[in-house]
Amino acid sequence: MAEMSGETLLDVRDLGVAFDGEGGAVHAVNGVSYTLREGETLGIVGESGSGKSVHVLAMLGLIPRPPGRITGGRVLFEGRDLLALPERELRKVRGGKIGFVFQDPMSSLNPGMTVAAQIVEPLRIHLGLDGRAARLRARELLDLVRIPDAAARLDQYPHEFSGGQRQRVMIAMGLSCRPKLLIADEATTALDVTVQAEIIALVQELKREIGMAVIWITHDLGVVAGIADTVQVMYAGRILERGPVDSLFSDPRSAYTLGLLRSLPDLSRGRAGRRRLHQIEGAPPDMRDPPPGDPFAARNAYATPRCRREPPPLEQAPGAAPGHLVAAWYDLPALRAAEEAA
Amino acid sequence: MSDLGLIENGVGLPAAAPALRVEPSPTREFWGRLAARRSAMVGLVIVVALMAMAVFADWIAPYDPIATDWGAIRSAPSLAHPFGTDEVGHDVLSRIVFGARASLGAGLTSVALAVALGLPFGLIAGYAGGFLDLLIMRLTDALLAIPFLILAIALAAFLGPSLTNAMVAIGLSATSTFVRLTRAQVQAVAAEEFIEAARAVGNPPWRIALRHILPNIVPAILVQATLTIAAAIIAEASLSFLGLGQQPPDPSWGSMLNVAKNFLEQAPWMAIWPGASIFLAVLAFNLLGDGLRDALDPRQRT
Amino acid sequence: MTPAPYPLLSVRNLSKHYPLRTWWGGRGSVFRAVEDVSFDIRPGETLGLVGESGSGKSTIGRAVTMLNPPTSGTVAFEGADLARLPAREMRRMRARIQTVFQDPYGALNPRMSVGEYVAEPFRLHRPTMARAERRDEVEGLFARVGLDPRFARRYPHQFSGGQRQRICIARAIALKPSFIVADEPIAALDVSIQAQVVNLLQDLQDELGISYLFISHDLRMVRYLCQRVAVLWRGRIVELAEADALYDDPRHPYTRRLLGAVPVPNPVAERARLRAAAGMPPMSPDAGGALVEVAPGHWVAGGADSRV
């Protein structure tokens, strides 16, 4: 675990995003607030529709508007509000100080351009390098992401790379301008598990070398357990829980986090110790008409009447590690203790 | 889908039972989206009005369209003849009203023929594949190499001048378009996983083609048919203009133009009204077809 | 390799090859998607088929159900070799063998109400069934998979991914088949929905005694759901054993590599795993070879215990 000392790099305050559609507006992100320090790795965990990807795309001006729109909030990156920046300034930040890696490397790379041409592009735009210098840097980047024989592969096209190598190229592009922040949005979801392991190891190494902060967005709690300093669990456009990784996994305070952890079968548990898989009943709410209270209340056996009425604020969980926040009206450890006693 | 939340909560039985009502099928929603498009609705209104005019021509037309009035030859529009009269004293308004039968009738009939021929051949080519596909597609390619209107004129000339033959000629000329479209659509749908799922439960090939593929390609065919009707109306007008379609004295917008071209300076109304009618009908079918295309969204994934 | 007294399904020497054409359309080499694969599935058993993309696991699923028949090999099922069954007989056999597909969005016909969709097996295989009886059966199936029977009149786009997969499962169990190929049935579902579907599959097996071929890349779920597991690598089975033996004592280097790559949802253990994985040697390309029984019911390609 990293020490909690760095300067605040990113400060998201009350961010709201909605999409207008035929059946009414979809409130995809509702009042999301958090901070990220320099050099920190933040794991954001959530299902489809949780707002985990949308809020990041929205803060960088990457959602189509319309139908998307920012309903409120501000996003301070190195002290500047990204939401207030003109598109031209924002473009300098994207791919410059903030690098990206998306889920599908094939559709994010242009199939008709060589890899070199695609890596060189941001280098010329953001760093103003000339052709020769940019190409030299592109080669360094492919070396950096451990693509063997980088010099020869620069002039190949994306289809000549395997899925894992394409994702390495994407990471190289994300890192090309030495970003302060790398955002990986389901970057390993489409990859095989052994390739995923390689990509995770690579990002870990690069983080040590470059010292950037990382936001790792995923649906897989296992992936963030080993690499994140802080984990944030999102559901229905809100943060339900956030805390230092060890505290969050060992002492979950949101019933949703607990449910997710318990629904994962244990790889080391044999058939003798086999119990029925814990399942979270129901499905996420319709974001066109979100419930008035805690969005998880309808699926939560621990929910109180207040949960259904009033959305709980994200606050320090009593008795948990400092910085371990939860949005819940119920006291999960107490309820579980009572359950075990019964 | 605003009631999705209701379904979602508790997977099983929703807390509040929704009233049993007609469920929005994809087809129903398709028409709903169409209704929301103004230009498509304008097109639809004009199309319906023109069809009503053709069907109820006997009641609408003030005069017999082939009755000649030697006392009123090439007379300008007046209260008695709002659209004027032609060179033998036919009432132009009445001929426009009855001419809609020839124009719209030819448009609809020829396209119906084209679909009736093109759809089965396209289904066979797209789904059966192999030698049949090769044979059908090479024939189609050969026909498509000839421009639509030229082919229609050649066929009409071969069959002999009459409105029926013109319809057949136009229909045959348009068939290859529908073969090609159907085949492409069938191939796209056949690659979908639900077709494999249909095979997995034991559907025989004919049932897959009719029950699983056909309903999914109907919207695309409908769009193409609507747009082709517009082209067929122009084709009928062209054939009649050349004397290969509707024969005198029976009225058709195209043949009216043919006569009118000799009197453009003396009696411009003889040309203006049939010309405007053709324009309006073609515009209306195109607007409707474009609207259908926009409303067509077969993958309504959330 | 016949450990079961009465295998329900017996696959022997199954191969699926695709001819590769040269650029001028001539006959080129052959792509061996699946090569010489043999396994049994016992009544009421779940056999897991794991491997990475391109390993041939879905090809095997589609070959044993004859949706994409094998190039060679036999698939013995309830006394018949499916690979040699005429098309009409095979269609009849489909009442006994069903498939649940990966993508519940693509597997439903968008222009068919879900009730009609679930009723289709009855129409095909019980053509004399009365309409009212068929409706009752469909309602019962909806209830069985945890859906409101009133939803039968709705269309697929009105359902979430988890609900669609339930609809697909309802159709698959309609005729009480003895065997279901489940091809990545939870891969497209959200984490909180996956357990619901896996529990449903397990309950149906307990109730109806269905055997599953569970094809998945989710090694945690495979251990949970399957009695035995086969590991595929480049179209071949490299290890096949009881789930406990395979996970607790993996013999093939590829199996070890695969299991070692699964993230653990426990920060301390996961950090330790990442450190250990960093020192793993790359895969040697010649880890194939014939399967040899190294322990009762535990088969490994190449035979000799390759533990270092």
Q: What is the pLDDT of residue B13?
A: 31
Distance, in Å, from the CA atom of B62 to the CA atom of B90, rounded to the nearest integer, reads 11
Nearest of C97, C201, C173, C89 to residue B200 by alpha carbon: C97
Distance, in Å, from the CA atom of A197 to the CA atom of A203, rounded to the nearest integer, reads 10
Stretch B248-254: mean pLDDT, rounded? 87
Q: Which two tokens stand for residue A142?
A: 């492919």
**In angstroms, what separates the C-alpha of B257 from chain C's closest C-alpha?**
46
Among the partner residues C92, C120, C150, nearest to B20 by beta-carbon distance:
C150
Q: Which amino acid is at C193?
A: I
ipTM, 2 dp: 0.85
Mapping DSSP to helix (H, G, I), strand (E, B) and coil, where does residue A154 land?
coil
Most C-contacting residue of B25, B189, B201, B297 (CB-CB within 10 A), to test interface: B201
Taking 50 as the pLDDT cut, the residues of chain A under it are 1-3
Q: What is the pLDDT of residue B15?
A: 31
pLDDT band at C286 (very low <50, low <70, confident <90, very high): low
Q: Inspect the interface and report whether the beta carbons of A288 and B2 lie closer than 8 Å.
A: yes
Most A-contacting residue of C105, C163, C167, C191 (CB-CB within 10 A), to test interface: C191
pLDDT tens across B203-246, in order?
Answer: 999 999 999 999 999 888 999 999 999 999 999 989 988 989 88
pLDDT band at C304 (very low <50, low <70, confident <90, very high): low
Q: What is the pLDDT of residue C308?
A: 42
**In angstroms, what separates the C-alpha of A50 from chain B's closest C-alpha?**
15
- Largest Cα–Cα distance in chain A? 72
pLDDT for residue C285 is more than 60: no
Least confident of A205-219, B3-17, B73-87, B133-147: B3-17
With beta carbons less than 8 A apart as the criterion, state whether C168 and C106 touch: no
Residues of A in contact with B5 (CB under 8 A): 285-286, 288-289
Among the partner residues B4, B11, B202, nearest to C95 by beta-carbon distance:
B202
Q: Which two tokens stand for residue B213?
A: 């593929």
pLDDT tens across C134-179, in order?
Answer: 999 999 999 999 999 988 989 998 888 889 999 999 999 999 999 9
With 0-12 / 13-18 / 19 or more C-beta atoms within 10 angstroms meaning exposed / middle / buried, residue C269 is: middle
pLDDT tens across A35-67, in order?
Answer: 999 999 999 999 888 999 899 989 888 888 878
What is the average pLDDT value for chain C, to the nearest integer? Answer: 88
CB within 8 Å of C14: residues ≥ 6 apart: C34, C36, C37, C38, C60, C63, C64, C70, C72, C73, C74, C75
| Interface chains of chain B (3 or more CB pairs under 8 Å) | A, C
Which residue shows structure tokens 């690579």? A202
Partnered with residue A17 across adjacent β-strands are A29, A70
Q: Which residues 11-40 of A are in CB contact (within 8 Å) with B? A: 23-24
Distance, in Å, from the CA atom of A198 to the CA atom of A72, rounded to the nearest integer, reads 39
Distance, in Å, from the CA atom of A22 to the CA atom of B1, rounded to the nearest integer, reads 10
- Measure CA of the first residue to CA of the last residue in chain B; give whole Å: 9
Q: How far is CA C256 from CA A194, B106, C236, C248, C249, in A?
A: 11, 73, 16, 10, 9
Q: Which two tokens stand for residue A273?
A: 């110790």
What pTM was estimated for this model as a whole?
0.84
pLDDT band at B22 (very low <50, low <70, confident <90, very high): low
Q: What is the pLDDT of residue A134?
A: 84
Mapping DSSP to helix (H, G, I), strand (E, B) and coil, where does residue C61 land?
helix
Nearest of A81, A90, A54 to residue A69 by alpha carbon: A54
* Cα–Cα–Cα angle for C37, C308, C232, rounded to 5 degrees: 20
Among the partner residues C195, C261, C268, nearest to A277 by beta-carbon distance:
C195
Q: Inspect the interface and report whether the beta carbons of A286 and B10 lie closer than 8 Å.
A: no
Among the partner residues C191, C262, C269, nearest to A193 by beta-carbon distance:
C262
As a whole-number percent, the residues of chain C with pLDDT over 70 amount to 92
Among the partner residues A282, A285, A289, nearest to B11 by beta-carbon distance:
A282
pLDDT band at C291 (very low <50, low <70, confident <90, very high): confident
pLDDT band at B171 (very low <50, low <70, confident <90, very high): very high
Query: Quick one: closest CA in B to A300, which residue?
Result: B10
Question: What is the side-by-side strand order in the sheet with C9-21?
Answer: C27-41, C9-21, C72-77, C80-81
Q: What is the pLDDT of residue C275?
A: 84
* Counts for chain A of helices (H) and strands (E), in that order: 13, 12
pLDDT for residue C120 is more than 70: yes
Distance, in Å, from the CA atom of C183 to the CA atom of C61, rounded to the nearest integer, reads 7
